[in-house]
């Protein structure tokens, strides 16, 4: 599933070709929202909010897409051949000099901008780690909410209502960097450690938000012990830890939506 850095890169790629331009044609998958209402409207903003991409229009409407596992946005010149079959397009927006196509996206919504704060997904999101005005104190307050005290730290980092943008890759990578067991209960983590987790998450997301198109996500910071390797632990089950040589382990974690966690049982001593 695309994480916060990918969505910010997607928004940055679409913004110069959509913002300030009038929509000349709009088509969507049926059944789906009536995107023909957007024809003639001018795009006023393209923004990433956590793992969501929103497009706002001067007629007061707003589009939201959530890419889930397989969705992606592409931008083409008028008449240019698409890289994927038209049958996989869920949403198409055209301007005089660009065609923006959202492929394989399971979530496409159209609603009034004034209702954004009431939206069941957007209205409950925690602070976006890549937002210019990111508030770490509000993030820590949300992570410390009593409702999360019984969660493991790995589950809490994925809770978009506490902090928006961290996905499964960053969850495992950040916990390895900070030498914390992913099974540690939130109630057992002190404020200083929690602040470091948030800061490291934001640093890694920001470092990857500007990577060139098609480049691999890198969390190893060009460390000599991991030369040419983009990730520390994610996807490396049974391979040696780059810090201590212990085989990396993995398991499913979480009750609502189980996700695979990767960790080093020696570097990240604690509950398992």
- Is 130 part of a structural domain of the chain? no
Instruction: Please indicate, yes or no, if residue 194 is contained in any of the structural domains.
Output: yes
CA torsion through residues 189, 190, 196, 199, sign: positive
- Per-residue pLDDT, 3: 80
115 plus 152 within the same structural domain: no
Peptide bond into 145 cis (omega under 30): no
Enumerate the active-site residues.
2-3, 51, 259
- Name the domain boundary from 72, 100, 124: 124
What is the pLDDT of the chain when averaged over all its residues?
A: 91
Contacts of 179 (CB under 8 A, 6+ apart): 267, 268
| Domain final residue, candidates 73, 96, 124 | 124
Residue-level pLDDT at 214: 58
Q: Are 164 and 50 in contact (CB under 8 A)?
A: yes
Number of other residues whose CB lies within 10 A of the CB of residue 244 = 10
Whether 113 and 220 share a structural domain? no
Q: What is the mean pLDDT of residues 83-88?
A: 94
Q: Say yes or no: 150 and 48 in one domain.
A: no
Q: Is 70 exceeded by the pLDDT of residue 63?
A: yes
CATH number of 52's domain: 3.20.190.10
Tell me the average pLDDT across 8-30. 93
Average pLDDT over residues 143-153: 94
Of 267, 106, 121, the C-alpha closest to 181 is 267
Are 26 and 108 within one domain? yes
Q: Do 146 and 93 have their domain in common?
A: no
User: Would residue 84 count as lying in a domain?
Assistant: yes
Pairing of strands 89-94, 99-103: antiparallel
**Is residue 129 situated within a structural domain?**
no
Considering the entire predicted model, what is its pTM?
0.85
Domain count across the chain: 2
Task: Quote the tokens at residue 44.
Answer: 């006023």
Query: Quick one: 98 and 169 in the same domain?
Result: no
Percent of the chain past pLDDT 90, that is, above it, reads: 72
**Which residues partner with 61 through β-bridges?**
112
| Residue range 158-217, pLDDT digits in tens | 999 999 999 999 999 999 999 999 999 999 999 999 999 999 999 999 988 877 665 677
Domain boundary among the residues 98, 124, 150 is at: 124
Question: What are residue 252's phi and psi, to 5 degrees?
Answer: -80, 135
The Cα diameter of the chain in Å comes to 60
CATH number, domain with residue 258? 1.10.8.50
Q: Is residue 268 in a domain?
A: no
- Which residues constitute the domain of residue 35? 4-124
Q: Which residue has the higher pLDDT, 261 or 116?
A: 261
Same domain, 43 and 84: yes
Q: What is the pLDDT of residues 68-85, one digit of tens each?
A: 878 999 999 999 999 999
């Amino acid at each position: 599933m695309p994480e916060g850095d990918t969505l910010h890169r997607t928004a940055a790629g679409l913004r110069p070709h959509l913002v300030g331009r009038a929509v000349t044609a709009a088509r969507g998958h049926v059944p789906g929202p009536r995107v023909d209402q957007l024809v003639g409207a001018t795009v006023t903003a393209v923004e990433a909010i956590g793992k969501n991409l929103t497009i706002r229009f001067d007629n007061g409407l707003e589009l939201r897409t959530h890419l889930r596992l397989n969705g992606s946005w592409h931008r083409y010149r008028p008449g240019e051949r698409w890289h994927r079959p038209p049958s996989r397009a869920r949403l198409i927006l055209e301007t005089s000099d660009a065609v923006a196509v959202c492929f394989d996206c399971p979530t496409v919504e159209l609603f009034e901008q004034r209702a954004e704060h009431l939206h069941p997904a957007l209205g409950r999101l925690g602070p976006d780690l890549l937002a210019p005005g990111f508030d770490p104190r509000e993030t820590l307050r949300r992570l410390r909410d009593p409702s999360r005290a019984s969660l493991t730290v790995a589950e809490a980092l994925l809770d978009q209502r506490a902090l928006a943008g961290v996905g499964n890759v960053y969850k495992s990578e950040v916990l390895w960097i900070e030498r914390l067991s992913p099974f540690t209960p939130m109630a057992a983590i002190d404020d200083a450690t929690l602040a470091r987790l948030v800061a490291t998450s934001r640093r890694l997301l920001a470092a990857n938000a500007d990577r060139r198109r098609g480049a691999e996500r890198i969390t190893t910071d060009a460390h000599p012990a991991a030369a040419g390797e983009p990730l520390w632990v994610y996807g490396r089950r049974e391979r040696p830890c780059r810090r201590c040589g212990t085989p990396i382990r993995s398991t499913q974690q979480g009750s609502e939506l189980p996700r695979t966690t990767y960790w080093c049982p020696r570097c990240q001593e604690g509950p398992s």
